[in-house]
Amino acid sequence: MKNDFGTVIAFLRIQFNFATMAGITQLALKYIPRHRLHIFAHWVLRAVSPFMRGKTFEDPITGISYRKMLSYGRGRHHRENVLAPDSLSLERHRLMWLVLKQKTSFFTEPTKLLHVAPEYCFLKIFRNMDNLEYTTADLNSPWADIHMDVHEIPMEDNSFDAIICNHVLEHVDDDAKVMSEFVRVMKPGGWGIFQVPIDMSRAETLEDPSITDPKEREKIYWQEDHVRLYGRDYPQKLEAAGFKVEPISMMEEIDPELVRKYALSPGEIVYFCTKPI
């Protein structure tokens, strides 16, 4: 009886800790700059991971399975079971991983890669790939090899075979200038993935420089440090910069059960960009 009681108490503590962790995650996202949050978050979440293992979800990046994942996001964009504690991957990271695996020769062909705002879930894997010449860059990330402003990339023309830059363009002052910089430093025939939040119910991107209040930005642009909310015209903006754009709808190609198991975001599209030769 004593052992049974102890087991129940331990289980309740774990459930309480998950609820507490969700609350702590919300506060951390709101008040701690992301580049500082990343420094210690992976150590904390990896300690939580053993209590979350199971067979309901799987992170295709690591192959680790979970009975539940962590929640992520604020307000109406709060989502349950989306953050994998070992890799820190979210829906967009796992989707990009599938695109890289199934639609490119990224893991086999020699590739000079520029990775802007590098995500923790990819860092170690990409650094250990013998076929990659790998450069990370960011304005202030602790994991960046080069600290730079993407409006003025300090690299020569036609330098990289591939560029990955996710969830950055919604933060920059002049997204057209940044896109043109990516075109400039990409080799002819090279490719890039530039994921951004998109409101698919909106035909055109919403951008109003007069909206400066953080609370108003969070309400309109989905996050207080966003300066625009992209609409369905996003691929046309990439094309205007000089890219050829191919929409990739992985959700239509993979088993719906895998969409659920990998905790992907149904309907999300990856716009695969190439620089014409």
Beta strands in 181-255 (DSSP E): 186-193, 244-248
CB crowding 246-257: b at 16 or more within 10 Å, else e: eebebbeeeeee
Percentage above 90 pLDDT, the chain: 77
Residues 129, 35 share a domain: no
Last residue of some domain: 83, 117, 142?
83
Distance from C-alpha of 108 to C-alpha of 146, rounded to nearest angstrom: 25
Residues 71, 96 share a domain: no
| Amino acid at residue number 148 | M
**Quick one: CA dihedral 130, 131, 135, 141, positive or negative?**
negative
Residues 143, 47 share a domain: no
Pairing of strands 244-248, 186-193: unpaired
- Nearest CA to 239 out of 180, 199, 156, 198 is that of 180
What are the respective helix, strand and coil percentages of the chain, to the nearest 5? 40, 20, 40
Q: CB of 268 within 8 A of CB of 238?
A: no
Residues 224, 106 share a domain: yes
Pairing of strands 244-248, 270-274: antiparallel
Phi, psi (rounded to 5 degrees) for 8: -60, -45
Distance from C-alpha of 106 to C-alpha of 120, rounded to nearest angstrom: 18
Distance from C-alpha of 180 to C-alpha of 13, rounded to nearest angstrom: 52
Q: CB of 122 within 8 A of CB of 115?
A: yes
Q: CB of 61 within 8 A of CB of 94?
A: yes
CATH number at residue 257: 3.40.50.150
- Interval 85-108: pLDDT, tens: 999 999 999 999 999 999 999 999
Distance from C-alpha of 218 to C-alpha of 227, rounded to nearest angstrom: 10
Residues 130, 224 share a domain: yes
Last residue of some domain: 83, 105, 137?
83
Residues 231, 137 share a domain: yes
Prediction pTM value: 0.85
Taking the CA atoms of residue 257, residue 106, residue 188 and residue 273 in that order, the dihedral angle to the nearest 10 degrees is 20
Question: Quick one: DSSP state of residue 49?
Answer: G
Distance from C-alpha of 145 to C-alpha of 134, rounded to nearest angstrom: 9
The token pair at 239 is 């094309």
Residues 70, 113 share a domain: no
Last residue of some domain: 83, 114, 140?
83
Per the structure, how many domains does the chain have?
Answer: 2
Q: Which domain holds residue 157?
A: 91-274
Polymer length in residues for the chain: 277
Phi, psi (rounded to 5 degrees) for 242: 125, 0
pLDDT by residue, tens only, the chain of 277 residues: 434 433 333 333 344 344 444 554 454 445 455 555 556 677 788 888 999 999 999 999 999 999 999 999 877 788 999 999 999 999 999 999 999 999 999 999 999 999 999 999 999 999 999 999 999 999 988 889 999 999 999 999 999 999 999 999 999 999 999 999 999 999 999 999 999 999 999 999 999 999 999 999 999 999 999 999 999 999 999 999 999 999 999 999 999 999 999 999 988 999 999 999 9
Place of tokens 């190439």: 274
